[in-house]
Amino acid sequence: MPRPIGARIDLAALRHNYLLAREYARRRDREARAWAVVKANAYGHGLLRAAAALGDVADGFALLDLDEAIALRQAGIRQPILLLEGFFEVADLAVCAAHDLSIVVHSVEQLQMLRRAAQPAPRRPLPIYLKLNSGMNRLGISAAQLPAVRREIEALPALGPLTLMTHFAEADGSGGESCIAWQLERFRAMTANWPAAANFPLSLANSAAILRYPQTAHDWVRPGIMLYGGSPFADQDAASLGLKPVMTLHSRLLAIQEIGVGERVGYGGTFVAQRPTRVGIVACGYADGYPRHAPGGTPIVVGGQRTKTLGRVSMDMLACDLTELPDAGLNSPVVLWGDGLPADEVASAAGTISYELFCALARRVPVLEV
């Protein structure tokens, strides 16, 4: 028998969340379309699995790697595919064209490569998402670079359809509209002197902006975490946003220890029993993707009831408190996150975000689609 750990991926929930993202966007713009952001192996859920679940509903798929884009094409995906970091060298462009990919262009260097690739003869132009840096200061064209960028664009022998894009740094913050207003203002100021830009479609909103700032939901929105049922907000849970959990990480109890007052549990003995304690040992550790930095006290569900972890997470196991759960015993089912225990709660106890939990799901964990 294999080790009793596994992850269930609820494909219907994924579809539900995608359709909900698009519905939020369409409250503002009836024509809005939504890139399903499936980077990082669909946030740990499996790229081809996510593509199969969304294949007949998604308007397009957005990711990072050329190889992943090609895998989607080979799996029969016909919708637009957007490379969120664009291309890395001139040679990539022929591959992008061959697979009919759309590209983000975030730097002057990329534009220069586009120009070089067009010589001696222009190729079929690719749809371009021109990424403006409106304050995230990660990728994107700055206000100072914009005149040179416009000249580069105008000098391209063949130009595909152009969309303007930016990314919000603080749409998940709790400061209300001001979290995004300053970036929107900078974005507008950057494009104000570019008359043609008034007609370009826009792509601005990530999950947080789609959910809280529908005024940013223009032509193409870019939902990521919400597809997987995670809330982008520390102050609002996923269920209240209408999202359903997609990944459930589950396991079983492998052993039970009855310990007396003063006994310790696990590496470093960081848990010391203050009362006679019944300890459950769960077949799940950091090598499965459970965060090692989750402290004792992190919520966990055993036999359908909530309790807390005890002590440090080991590579293959972790401990939990069964003192108040007399019905729990060997082989009792355990949910680490997902159904009945939002990943956001576990992430928050561990000082991280659900994105990181999902992406860290280890390859050794068998995945079952439901």
Ligand X SMILES: *Cc1c(COP(=O)(O)O)cnc(C)c1O
> Which residue is catalytic, options 24, 43, 129, 267?
267
Residue 132 is a binding residue for ligand X (CB under 6 A): no
Do the annotations mark residue 138 as ligand-binding? yes
Q: Which tokens is 158 given?
A: 């063949």
131 is annotated as an active-site residue: no
Closest CA to 110 of 57, 153, 50, 58: 153
The minimum distance between CB 292 and ligand X, in angstroms, equals: 24
Give the CA diameter of the chain: 80
What single string gives the DSSP state of each residue in 133-184? Answer: -SS--SSSB-TTTHHHHHHHHHH-SS---EEEE---SSTTSSSTTHHHHHHH
Q: Which one among 25, 36, 37, 105 touches ligand X, defined by CB under 6 A?
A: 37
| Cβ closest to ligand X, residue 301 vs residue 343 | 343
The minimum distance between CB 43 and ligand X, in angstroms, equals: 7
129 is annotated as an active-site residue: no
- Residue 368, CA distances (Å) to 73, 104, 185, 303 in order: 23, 34, 45, 20
Do the annotations mark residue 252 as ligand-binding? no
Do the Cβ atoms of 338 and 368 come closer than 8 Å? no
Q: Which region among 26-34, 51-59, 216-224, 247-255 touches ligand X (by CB under 6 A)?
A: 216-224
Site string for ligand X, 223-262 (x = CB under 6 A): xxx------x------------------------------
User: Tokens 């190889």, residue?
Assistant: 67
> Which residue is catalytic, options 18, 24, 39, 131?
39
Strand pairing report for 102-105 and 128-131: parallel
Q: Which one among 22, 167, 218, 250 touches ligand X, defined by CB under 6 A?
A: 167
Strand pairing report for 299-302 and 305-310: antiparallel
- At residue 204, what is the residue type? L
Q: Which one among 191, 207, 231, 309 touches ligand X, defined by CB under 6 A?
A: 207
Which segments are annotated as binding site for substrate? 138, 315
Residue positions forming the annotated binding site:
138, 315
> Binding residues for ligand X, per CB under 6 A?
37, 39, 84, 167, 206-208, 222-225, 232
Catalytic residues: 39, 267
